[in-house]
Amino acid sequence: MKPQISQKAQQFTESVIREMTRLALEHDAINLAQGFPDFAAPEEVKEAAVRAIRADINQYAITWGAREFRQAIAERFERDTGLAIDPEREITVCCGATEAMVASMLAVVDPGDEVIVFEPFYENYGPDAVICGAVPRFVRLRPPDWSFDPEELAAAFNRRTRALILNTPNNPTGKVFTREELATIAALAERWNSYVITDEIYQYMVYDGAEHISMASLPGMRERTITVNGMSKTYSVTGWRVGYAIANPEVTNAIRKMHDFLTVGAAAPLQEAGAYALRLPDEYYASLQQAYVRRRDRTLVMLEAAGFRCFKPRGAYYIMTDIAGFGFPNDVEFSRYLVAEVGVAVVPGSSFYSQPESGSQQVRFCFCKKDQTLDEAARRLARIRTGAAAKR
């Protein structure tokens, strides 16, 4: 008899997104599943990393982050939110926003505590709760605008609620939370003395005049907000694994401890490049946004032409779609058909919900891709209707 694996590990299945990436490779499909750009990272940011390696910044950085990078994070945060933060006491640099999120949760959540998560949700938040021994309570975002019912949210809070996980701009829905919605959440977090852990990794990807508002900037919220962010999306370097958490000094102290024993530290030379990247001029962010609006609009045209009902995103780089028109029994069968017979990989909607049936007629596309990739996807998707009809 073999020793058992942990109950925690038994609760996890393979990430559906990674499974789709694997199937995409197997079938030589266009991967519109996992959210990573297939275009080059900015030349000057890459150069900054090369310079740092050549300058022999190749040993452990300070555990909670290279000083220069933390300084740049503080400058950028102040520019974006008006809040002055202390880089010595309020920032922890981690291995991606992914680690920043789990280290933050471990820092404030005890086993048995409850954590509120809006659903559909970025699929890591469920396992993150399991790792912490927390009980997730889900509150529904409802299409077409993915708004929540304030009463349903109020009912989810109780004295065991230690934190609410917020993600704005939102993956997978593209929702950008309004000031009014944030104020509703803030009032409840204050009333129940809970933290808000806010994942703002898509903060520079907002469209149609939508405004990204940081929860920490709302009155009274600075002290109870942990802001998670990172380099992956803004600088198209998802493989660098550099992110960070911003929180009050007491919480930062706890996050730093978790981070230290999880990973010791993020890649030292890439943090130096991060200091360079975060100080890029405003034009960089403006052109990033313009490029993404264009990609979003052409992807919407392609999907609508292929017969998908799209929920137009106001932020991030994904499009949630309704697939009811294709007549498939569920999202997983449809996604397998799409990857194997049409040659395009997507993420089945069910992977974003606690109850798979809630997403059984949805799939998510990502559009952080080169024009030629999107063109080829459009060519392939045009085959869908006839292919789907033939299948039925």
Ligand X SMILES: Cc1ncc(COP(=O)(O)O)c(C=O)c1O
Q: Which residue ranges make up the site for ligand X (CB under 6 A)? A: 35, 96-98, 122, 167, 171, 199, 201, 230, 232, 238, 243
Please name the residues in contact with 78: beta carbons below 8 A apart, sequence gap of 6 or more: 84, 85
Q: How far is the CB of 296 from ligand X (least distance, A)?
A: 16
The residue ranges of DSSP E strands in the chain, in sequence order, are 30-31, 91-94, 114-119, 135-140, 161-167, 195-199, 225-230, 243-246, 309-311, 318-322, 344-345, 347-348, 362-366
Q: Which residues contact 391 (CB under 8 A, 6 or more apart)?
A: 337, 341
CA distance readout (Å), 141 to 112, 289, 296 = 25, 25, 21
Q: Smaller CB distance to ligand X: residue 35 or 269?
A: 35
Residue nearest to ligand X (CB): 96
Place of tokens 């990272």: 41
* Among 84, 5, 64, 35, residue whose Cα is nearest residue 367: 35
The whole-angstrom distance between residue 200's C-alpha and the CA centroid of its chain comes to 8
Q: Which is nearer to ligand X, 96 or 348 (CB)?
A: 96
Angle between helices 282-305 and 371-381 (to 10 degrees): 10
Q: Which is nearer to ligand X, 175 or 256 (CB)?
A: 175
Residue type, 299: T
Nearest to 132 by CA among 156, 103, 161: 103
Q: How far is the CB of 14 from ligand X (least distance, A)?
A: 16
Output the smallest distance, CB 128 to ligand X, in A: 10
CB nearer ligand X, residue 36 or residue 284: 36
In angstroms, give the least distance from the CB of 171 to ligand X: 4
Find the helix or strand (DSSP H, E) in which 383 lies. none
Alpha-carbon span 107 to 100, nearest angstrom: 10
Q: From the CB of 151, what's the least distance to ligand X, in Å?
A: 26
Shortest separation between residue 223's beta carbon and ligand X, angstroms: 23
* Complex with ligand X: residue 95 or 339, whichever CB lies closer: 95
* E strand residue ranges, 231-376: 243-246, 309-311, 318-322, 344-345, 347-348, 362-366
Nearer to ligand X, 97 or 323 (CB): 97
Smallest distance from ligand X to CB 322, Å: 21
Per DSSP, the three-state class of 254 is: helix
Integer Cα distance of 199 and 172 in angstroms? 13
CA distance 198 to 141: 16
Nearer to ligand X, 326 or 367 (CB): 367
Q: How far is the CB of 238 from ligand X (least distance, A)?
A: 5
Residue 288 C-beta: closest distance to ligand X, Å: 16
Task: Give me the sign of the Cα torsion angle 126, 132, 137, 142.
Answer: negative
- Please report how close the Cβ of residue 138 comes to ligand X at its closest, in angstroms: 16
Cβ-based nearer residue to ligand X, 173 or 388: 173
Nearer to ligand X, 316 or 384 (CB): 316
Smallest CA-to-CA distance from 268 within 36, 76, 66 is with 66
Nearer to ligand X, 93 or 97 (CB): 97
